[in-house]
């Protein structure tokens, strides 16, 4: 199955990204341990005590520096080539059918998602073919408060009597779309919903009910955010039709 130029470039970038990421992990694993360093040196007890603290700080800084260097500059391609959920490379047919490549950038307190359309079709063709799905389930007690409704973009804000917000938004990606999400107080994992690879951010701790899901399907990027807990947010995502 022949790939077009844009898809070949996406494949090359994905494989290069994967290789650099693996190199970063190997570099960290090859760092000497504190025990190995101590075996090669002999100092007074007082000096050794000070050195232990210095070694720990230095080694941690080195790991953080290396992780930050690669985590910030090396984007992890998922959905089009590298499937983090299954840890395997997708087949040529899957690459051919993939429409949007997803780049996940890791920063100290947030994640950046860059969605890029890899289709060779024109913007007009993409817009004409795309049909945004809407959730058929909204939790009881939530009512539509604000909305923006277009063929290529939809944003619905729901609220309940307690003032809790529920946000659903979807956008047709003709070229590139970016979104950011806080990761300082959330856990991150990749799950599967309706056959799609979904990025799930959930609040840390029982009293932190924030949950957000982000995914793509066809030419469309979807996102749901709320403080109603993971189960309800996933239920909304599953109800899209």
Determine the pLDDT at residue 110: 76
Please say whether the beta carbons of 118 and 80 come within 8 A: yes
Question: Within the chain, which residues score under 50 in pLDDT?
Answer: 37, 55-97
Give the pairing type, strands 186-193 and 176-182: unpaired
Query: Of the candidates 223, 216, 231, 219, which has an alpha carbon nearest to the alpha carbon of residue 78?
Result: 216
d(CA 41, CA 47): 11
Determine the pLDDT at residue 102: 80
Query: Of the candidates 100, 102, 81, which has an alpha carbon nearest to the alpha carbon of residue 15?
Result: 81
**Given 3.30.200.100, 3.50.30.50, 3.30.365.10, 3.90.1300.10, which CATH number is that of 121-238?**
3.30.200.100
Tell me 43's DSSP state: -
| Burial (0-12, 13-18, 19+ Cβ within 10 Å), 227 | middle
Predicted model pTM: 0.59
Between the alpha carbon of residue 71 and those of residues 2, 74, 107, 130, 204, the distances in Å are: 32, 6, 7, 33, 22
Query: Of the candidates 191, 236, 198, which has an alpha carbon nearest to the alpha carbon of residue 217?
Result: 198
Determine the pLDDT at residue 228: 93
Determine the pLDDT at residue 30: 59
């Amino acid at each position: 199955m022949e790939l077009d130029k844009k898809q070949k470039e996406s494949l090359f970038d994905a494989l290069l990204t994967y290789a650099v990421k693996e190199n970063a992990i190997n570099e960290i694993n090859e760092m000497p341990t504190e025990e190995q360093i101590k075996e090669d040196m002999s100092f007074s007890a007082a000096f050794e005590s000070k050195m232990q603290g210095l070694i720990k700080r230095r080694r941690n800084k080195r790991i953080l520096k290396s992780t930050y260097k690669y985590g910030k500059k090396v984007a992890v391609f998922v959905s089009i080539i590298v499937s983090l959920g299954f840890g395997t490379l997708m087949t040529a047919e899957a690459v051919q059918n993939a429409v949007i490549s997803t780049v996940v950038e890791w920063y100290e307190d947030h994640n950046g998602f860059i969605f890029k359309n890899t289709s060779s079709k024109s913007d007009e063709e993409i817009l004409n073919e795309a049909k945004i799905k809407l959730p058929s389930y909204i939790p009881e007690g939530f009512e539509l408060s604000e909305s923006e409704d277009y063929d290529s973009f939809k944003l619905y804000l729901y609220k309940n009597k307690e003032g809790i917000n529920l946000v659903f938004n979807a956008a047709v990606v003709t070229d590139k779309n970016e979104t950011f999400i806080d990761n300082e107080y959330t856990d991150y994992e990749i799950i599967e919903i309706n056959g799609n690879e979904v990025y799930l951010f959930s609040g840390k701790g029982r009293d932190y009910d924030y949950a957000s899901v982000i995914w793509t399907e066809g030419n469309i990027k979807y996102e749901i955010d709320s403080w109603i807990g993971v189960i309800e947010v996933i239920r909304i995502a599953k109800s899209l039709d």
